[in-house]
Chain A
Amino acid sequence: MGFSVSGATVVLFLGIVISFGIAHAAVNNGVEAVNDAYQDSTDKELSRQNTGITIGSAVANTASDTLNVSVENTGSSTLSITDTDILINGTYTSHDSMETLEVDGNDTTGLWLPGETLYFVYDYGSDSDFTNAPTRVKVVTDSGVSAAAEVEEVS
């Protein structure tokens, strides 16, 4: 009887050890994946809280049929120009169709630092969608923080 009991105990013990190994690996990987995801989402939320933009001016010049907009980065985080979206009259307008797109006079940079002003010019005269000057403009940053303004007309 002695051998049977110890033999059976060894086999059961091995089973438990192997199971624990499998469970530990799975739980560890799972917790790590979820933790990383929460960390990323907290980081995103933090940068969103630190983001702020204000439209300084939105002017449509009816003499040259251009829309001139300046937007200031009033937050404390650095924004990406590539991920900044521009909506003119609610329609997504790509950066390539802008006549000018620059940050404090620099049109080669991809960064929009705190305190700097993004300036863009859109030639709506060459766009057949516009018979009149645009009335609204909206700018959205990479984290989803946005600013919208009515366009003022000057001739």
Chain B
Amino acid sequence: MASVSSSHLILFIASLLIAASVAGTFTQGVQRLSSALGDRSLDVAKDVRTDIEIISDPGSVDAIYDDSGEGSLTVLVKNTGSLNLDADSGQIDVLVDGRLQTDVTVEVADGDTWMVGNVARLTITKSLEPGDHRVTVIVNGDEETLRFRIQ
């Protein structure tokens, strides 16, 4: 009889161990999935809250393109969303005629930080030929394009 109870005990411990490891793996998987879901939803919420508007006046092209020296483009971008953004060139992608620009300086025109309602001034060093051009600014997936003509 003793051998029967000890084999029962062994089977009991083994089944508990297996069940515990299965439950542990399952819980861990769900935990990872949940934290990924949490991060992703924060990202999505950030993208939805971000809204920018290019407010430069294409009618006054002299304020957009300055051909003195190497040539520079000035684009005014207003934060019209519900999230304060970072006025940092690492967070803002600028494409001029479809090419990504790396020489971009960002400053806030009416304050210290690029809060909701504030305007950031992007200065891009780039020489452009007369003709039609387009500048695209991308922040958190929100894309705005400015078209203008240099005489």
Contacts and interface: CB of A to CB of B under 8 A. Distances in A.
Interface of A: 1, 3-5, 7-9, 11-12, 14-16, 18-20, 22-23, 25-27, 29-31, 33-34, 36-38, 40-41, 44, 48, 80, 82-83, 85, 87, 89-92, 94, 135-136, 138, 140, 142-144, 146, 148
A8 B18 contact: yes
B59 A37 contact: no
A27 B37 CA distance: 7
Contact of B33 (A14, A20, A23, A37): A23
Interface of A is mostly: helix
Contacts of B81: 41, 44
Contacts of B71: none
Contacts of B30: 19-20, 22-23
A132 B19 CA distance: 85
B34 to A, nearest CB: 3
Contacts of B60: 87, 89-91, 135-136
Contacts of A38: 48
A22 B31 contact: yes
A25 B34 contact: yes
Given A40-B82, A92-B121, A142-B80, A5 B34 contact: no
B141 interface: no
A26 B59 CA distance: 49
Contacts of A143: 80
Interface stretch (B50-58, B84-92, B93-101, B128-136): B50-58
14 contacts: A4-B11, A7-B19, A15-B22, A26-B37, A33-B44, A34-B41, A37-B46, A44-B51, A82-B117, A89-B57, A90-B56, A90-B59, A92-B121, A142-B80
Contacts of B143: none
Given A8-B18, A12-B19, A29-B38, A34 B44 contact: yes
Interface in B6-60: 8, 11-12, 14-16, 18-20, 22-24, 26-27, 29-31, 33-35, 37-38, 40-42, 44-46, 48-49, 51, 53, 55-57, 59-60
Nearest to A137: B57
A37 B48 contact: yes
